[in-house]
Structure 1
Amino acid sequence: MNKPTTAPRPGGLARLLNTIERLGNKLPDPAILFALLLAAVAMASWAMSSMQFSELDPRTGQALEIRNLLSGAALTAFAANLVGTFVNFPPLGVVLVAMLGLGVAEYTGFINAGLRAILSVTPQRLLTPVLIAVGILSHVAVDAGYVLVIPLGAVIFYAAGRHPLAGIAAAFAGVSGGFSATFFIPSSLDPLLAGLTQAAARLSADPAAAQIVINPLNNFYFTSASALLIVLVGWAITDLLIEPRLKQTKIDGDPAELPKMEALSAVEKKGLLLAGLSVLVAGALFALSLLPGNSPWRAPDGQLAAAAAPLMKSIVALIFLFFLIPGVVYGYASGSVKNSGDVIKGMSKAMSGMGYYIVMAFFCAQFIYAFGQSNLGALLAIKGAGWLKDMHFPVGATLIGMILLTASVNLLIGSASAKWALIGAIMVPMLMELGLSPDFIQAAYRVGDSSTNIITPLMPYFPLIVVFCQKYVKGSGIGTLLALMLPYALLLMFSWTLFLLGFWMLDIPLGVGASYTFPALTR
């Protein structure tokens, strides 16, 4: 009689990942989480409103007071401002407007055809870096890369005689691991994070904070330069670590069911050509409009990059047009658009997918409003900054701590905007107290968040990537994908952190209108 066998006990890493998954599954939905935090802030403000604090509020010169949000006056003010708080929430409008143009480009097939065209003409020796680069480029279409670039990565690697899981890993590293990198093209993430950063910065107790305006391109130079770093690091990891390890992994998917990469049809090629020409013509006309010294795009002092310049205030509108124009041209040329109604369908489809974001934005806006009104943020910032000052941490160590904190939270909350709304509301005003600028703090957040996206089982698209793996290796699971992506996460976070610190030490500008310092409060 055979003795019953027992499953081997999971190793330390497996137990840790199981614990993270179990804890993450117990967290409520981010929208509900903000509602619960709003209730917690209200209760905390009630409990602490009778306490006295020695810290001075620089805005009044008086001792800092916690406002009771459950008082009659506070409750009626909250109700009266409910709609305005939501409608004027900085990230809401900019994200929805940008998505209108991106939605048309995706709906007409322009983005799909463009990515296939790039990947189909790539030499095999450059397959890995180009695939990662295309993954980075896909960020402009928000989530399109997850459902398009990653499965295409497996297809082109498989067609080239390379392991398809290596293609999935490289594409996933570009799409998600390098989510905050960009090749000189702003994405909808830029205005989204900038809006949240601005809202958090204005929670600072410094009187100057109320006038802070965060440029949507405040990290643009850093994220553009980071794209090259992501490509080089991802290329080395894929070719030197991942593919050699996958040599022992048998491809046992049904050959008849394995997807194939379809070549571009003549109609699609014509559409891409005309769409490309439309972008060149529109770009040339736009550039000509910037040249005159009295261009209406310039600020009163003649600068183009100044915060007051209409050009800087029109970034989201330009993103909208940058994808709307070629998307419409491609649609008509390829036949995917028959009339103007189809263009509206593309916009409507994009908006239908934003329903959840709008709900989350409502609760997030109310939480940030209540947090600011209570003065709890100012108290935490002043006390937290005082503690950090007493510890005498150097700026580099402070930034590394910020990155590690973000990476830890990322294992439990998948939404980039939800994480930054939670972390930023506390960390931005607190680190501003230490003299760090909101632009610098936001850049540190982007490094920690982006580099660990690929090892977060709670990230909404993580299970989908597992399904892509199973098409080629039937036994693939979450552990398979984690084992593939862990080297990327660790090495990207390490190298990207050094890259950010290098920018700071060399005083290389982070972006348009950005700085590294904020005048610390004098007490």
Structure 2
Amino acid sequence: MTTEVSKRTEPSAGLRLLAGIEEAGNALPHPFWLFWILFGVLAVASWILSGTGITVSDPATGETVGVNNALSVEAIRALLTGAEESFVTFGPLGTVLIVMLGVAVADRSGLFEVVARRALSNVSARWVVFAVALGGALSKFLSDSAYVILIPLGAIAFKTVGRSPMLGMIVAFVSINAAGDANPLIAPGDVVFAKVATEAAQLIDPNATVRATDNMYFTTVSALVLAITITLVTELILKKRESTLIVDTAQVDTTAIMAMGPQATLSGAAERRGLRVTGLAALLFVALTVVAILLPQSPLRGENGEFLESPFLDGIAFFLSLFFLTLGIAFATGSRQLESSADIPRFMADGVRSIAPLIVLFFAVSQFLALFKYTKISTLVAVKGSDAIADLGIHNVGLFVIVVVAIALLNLLITSGQALWALVAPIVVPMMLLLGTNPAATMALYRIADSCTNSITPMSTSFVLCVGYLQTLNKKAGIGTLISFTLPCAVIMFIVWFALFLLWWVLGIPLGPGAPVR
């Protein structure tokens, strides 16, 4: 009897693996301290490598370069006096601040919440899974608010058509987490990713530029493909276990579910007025922008009328901020929430406060990257690594597999997409560039690897949040419950998305405007 009980209670190998991942991840320090620890490791490594006399030919200049010792007197002076400049000129810092000034106004006005709620409120049973999945893929503008808004909405949408509200939560969660980087629109995160990729690529090619639009064609198609994939996995696989998602009460009150998310404070009439004004403002903004771009000698175009090399695309962060600022003001005005013009800078200040933790992280990242650049270890690793891969004769497809699998495994422990990209980009982007892979393609591979494992790692704060939501409907729901449903989605989405990239690469389709895949 004792043996039988122990066999029933002994966790499976999969759960033991996940428990080990959770334990290992918990042992990692906060990303802020992680970058400072790596800063120290890099400094010691530069001291050791500089003593070996190892050199490589710098692809950017053709000169023979060695590793600079970061522990020398000259290096310490240079790093200390340059710390402020390294932080202030860190590309993503200004980008995030500018974009958030506009996004914050749209967010604080309630526009994002209203649009998301209305989009999912009257979905038919046939389309409910696809609608929730596509809504999650399009929710990147909501940032962390996406989980608070869309997970309860997914539960309501599923319950309305007679399906398990818990499954609705899971579909919403996995679509936000795993498909969120497949956004057909340009989100603030895209601008940050592009800035980090640019700084990494310029370690090899000083003229290299990666734009936020460089993955736009690929992510637009990916959003639809991944939403369909989530739908098929849900209907063909997860639906077979939907009966196990039993709520604790016989009836789940829709109002109670919605209470888990943000509370609507506007009347239906106010929302409709706000949306009408916002729609007109959006059309007017787009129309004026298009006209301004098409005008002869337009200041938004580059030399000789160039569009790809233009102030518009180079300054896309400013235009994104202005667009969302316009929409936020329009919605707040139309719904009669705007009491005075002083509300606008207050909304902006709230938005900046919300990203204060990211700014703190950026300080550590900027100093780490400044040291990386000073020591020239990134050049050494990129050149030596690319030479080693070339000597092994690994085909491009094999290299792509190695990159996405390695990043996916790292993402199980370091769940912050921007922090992980800042960590791996200075090595992966230059190395891939030396092997003939466009930085835009490397960024697309990172999206695949980073996104698909987000929904299966207990280290993610959004994962813990979703478990909490599930427990409001079933107290026994836990990590195993969520992973048992998200794992099939994550694995199949990873395979499908990577296969889509390979097809894109084979056909030679541009990843975005002026961004060849190879």
CA RMSD, Structure 1 to Structure 2 (Å): 2.0
Question: Structure 2 vs 1, CA of residues 222 and 39 (structure 1 numbering), >3 Å: closer, same or farther?
Answer: same
| Worse overlay, 32-41 or 45-54 | 45-54
Residue 511 of structure 1 deviates from its aligned partner by 1.0
Instruction: Indicate whether 1:377 and 2:373 are aligned.
Output: no
Partner of 2:232: 236
* Cα offset, 1:203, TM superposition: 2.2
Query: What is the alpha-carbon distance in structure 2 between the residues aligned to residue 509 and residue 515 of structure 1?
Result: 4
Could you tell me which amino acid in structure 1 is paired with residue 269 of structure 2?
A: A
Alignment correspondent of 1:267: 270
Alignment of 1:277-356 (within 5 A): 277-304=280-307, 306-307=308-309, 309-356=310-357
Structure 2: state its 5+ residue gaps: none
Query: By how many angstroms is 1:465 displaced?
Result: 0.6
Structure 1 equivalent of residue 360 of structure 2: 359
**In 2, distance between residues paired with 1:137 and 1:167?**
17
Counterpart position of 2:476: 475
Do the aligned partners of residues 40 and 266 (structure 1) sit closer, same or farther apart at CA in structure 2, a change above 3 Å counting? same
Q: Equivalent residue for 1:499?
A: 500
For residue 293 of structure 2, what is the amino acid of its counterpart?
L
Letter in 2 for 1:187: A
Q: Distance in 2 between matches of 1:249 and 1:59?
A: 57
Contact 1:453 1:459 survives alignment (8 Å): yes
For residues 23 and 61 of structure 1, the distance between their equivalents in structure 2, rounded to whole angstroms, comes to 42
**1:79-478 alignment runs, 5 A limit:** 79-183=80-184, 185-204=185-204, 209-253=205-249, 255=252, 258-260=256-258, 265-304=268-307, 306-307=308-309, 309-478=310-479
Whole-Å separation in 1 of the counterparts to 2:325 and 2:420: 30
Q: 1:292 to 1:54 in 2, by over 3 A?
A: closer
SS, match of residue 180 in structure 1: coil
Structure 2 length-normalised TM: 0.94
Describe the SS at the equivalent of 1:340: coil
Distance 1:8 1:89, change over 3 A: same
Question: How far does residue 320 in structure 1 lie from its aligned partner after superposition?
Answer: 0.8
The residue type paired with residue 379 of structure 2 is A
TM-score of the aligned structures, taking structure 1 as reference length: 0.94
Q: Hey, what's the Cα distance between the residues in 1 that align with 2:258 and 2:438?
A: 48
Q: How many residues align?
A: 510
Q: Which amino acid aligns with 2:439?
A: P
- Which amino acid in structure 2 is aligned with residue 273 of structure 1? R
1:52/1:326 Cα in 2 relative to 1: closer, same or farther (>3 Å)? same
Identity of aligned residues (%): 33
Q: Is the 8 A contact 2:60 2:203 kept in 1?
A: no
Inter-partner Cα distance in structure 2 for 1:431 and 1:287: 36
Q: Give the residue type in structure 1 aligned to 2:466.
A: I
Deviation, 1:61, is: 4.7
Distance 1:248 1:372, change over 3 A: same
Contact 2:215–2:440 (CA<8 Å) still a contact in 1? Answer: yes
What stretches of structure 1 of length at least 5 have no aligned partner?
518-523
* Counterparts of 1:499 and 1:516, CA distance in 2: 12
Classify the secondary structure of the residue corresponding to 2:468: helix
**Does the CA-based 8 Å contact 1:215-1:513 persist in structure 2?**
no
SS of aligned partner of 1:55: strand
Which segment is superposed worse, 397-406 or 333-342?
Answer: 333-342
1:454 shift after superposition = 0.8
Q: Residue 53 of structure 1: CA displacement?
A: 2.4
Q: Structure 1 residues 422 and 260, CA, compared in 2 at 3 Å: closer, same or farther?
A: closer
Q: 1:2 to 1:128 in 2, by over 3 A?
A: closer
What displacement does 1:292 show? 2.1
